[in-house]
A and B are shown apart, each in its own frame.
Chain A
Amino acid sequence: SAVISQKPSRDICQRGTSLTIQCQVDSQVTMMFWYRQQPGQSLTLIATANQGSEATYESGFVIDKFPISRPNLTFSTLTVSNMSPEDSSIYLCSVEGLGKETQYFGPGTRLLVL
């Protein structure tokens, strides 16, 4: 299994500002995933981050709003840009285990935008 940490664990931000969330894994992994979990909604994949290439975004998510960095095989960041109250959510990073059916998640970053 993989141990994943995220920073910050929570934050309260003002409308129009940006927040960068960090994700650190205790082992080298090829793919890292960023999810959003809004109250009462399912986990939704934002993007897949591969080391050495541009992130792949899912429908409804764009790089200008959610820029992602993947500088090495154990670390990634997700930035939530120009935030609005609708961005209030839990943001989770995850990695695959032996296969995509075994994903490990970080503890999440709880974001509240005022």
Chain B
Amino acid sequence: QKEVEQDPGPLSVPEGAIVSLNCTYSNSAFQYFMWYRQYSRKGPELLMYTYSSGNKEDGRFTAQVDKSSKYISLFIRDSQPSDSATYLCAMSEVGRDDKIIFGKGTRLHILP
């Protein structure tokens, strides 16, 4: 079983819809959970990060972590065509030398 699993998509939804992106993981020691957005031909940019469990909201974006299920989600409300990108989940243990493990990314298309 891979450390981090993420459905590659593509996921196509109409503009204005709520988007749900998910990752599962196997390492119960992960404490940092991040979501990156990567536009075509660009590097990843950090969208949100959470520490341990719970929810975090930033504008139209909400990140959720369920450590009991080893499952994280990113919700996008009122999706826009500009949200079309690849979304990468990432996670890490807390040690200074622990590296960040990335999912493969989900390609998202918002249809106008």
Q: Which residues of A contact B (CB under 8 A)?
A: 4, 40-45, 58, 92, 94, 97, 100-108, 110
| 22 intermolecular pairs with C-beta atoms under 8 Å apart | A4-B43, A41-B104, A42-B104, A43-B44, A43-B88, A100-B32, A100-B92, A100-B96, A100-B100, A102-B46, A103-B46, A103-B100, A104-B45, A104-B46, A105-B36, A105-B43, A105-B44, A105-B45, A107-B41, A107-B42, A108-B41, A108-B43
Q: Closest approach, in angstroms, between the C-beta of B93 and any C-beta of chain A?
A: 10
- Complex Cα–Cα for A102 and B105 (A): 18
Q: A101-B92, A102-B46, A103-B46 are in contact. List 10 more A-B contacts (CB 8 A).
A: A4-B43, A41-B104, A42-B104, A42-B105, A43-B44, A44-B102, A45-B99, A100-B92, A100-B100, A107-B43
Q: State A93–B43 Cα separation when bound (angstroms).
A: 9
CB distance from B13 to the nearest CB of A (A): 22
- 6 closest cross-chain pairs (CB), A and B: A105-B43, A43-B102, A101-B32, A42-B102, A101-B49, A42-B104
Q: How many A-B residue pairs have CB under 8 A?
A: 51
Alpha-carbon distance between A37 and B34 when the two chains are bound, in angstroms: 17
User: What residues of B have a CB within 8 angstroms of the CB of A107 in the complex?
Assistant: 41-43
- Cα of A41 to Cα of B102 in the assembled complex, Å: 9
Contact residues in B for A45 (Cβ distance below 8 Å): 99-100
**B51 within 8 Å of A (CB atoms):** yes
How many Å lie between the Cα of A46 and that of B74 in the bound state? Answer: 27
Q: Across the interface, which residues of B come within 8 angstroms of A97, CB to CB?
A: 46
B4, CB-defined interface residue at 8 Å: yes
> How close is A94's CB to chain B, nearest CB, in angstroms?
8
Chain B residue at minimum C-beta to C-beta distance from A92: B43
Cβ contact of A40, chosen from B96, B101, B104, cutoff 8 A: B104
Distance between A12 CB and nearest chain B CB, rounded to angstroms: 16
A102 touches B44 (CB 8 A): no
By a CB distance below 8 angstroms, the chain B residues around A94 are 43
Closest Cβ–Cβ distance, residue B107 to chain A (whole Å): 11
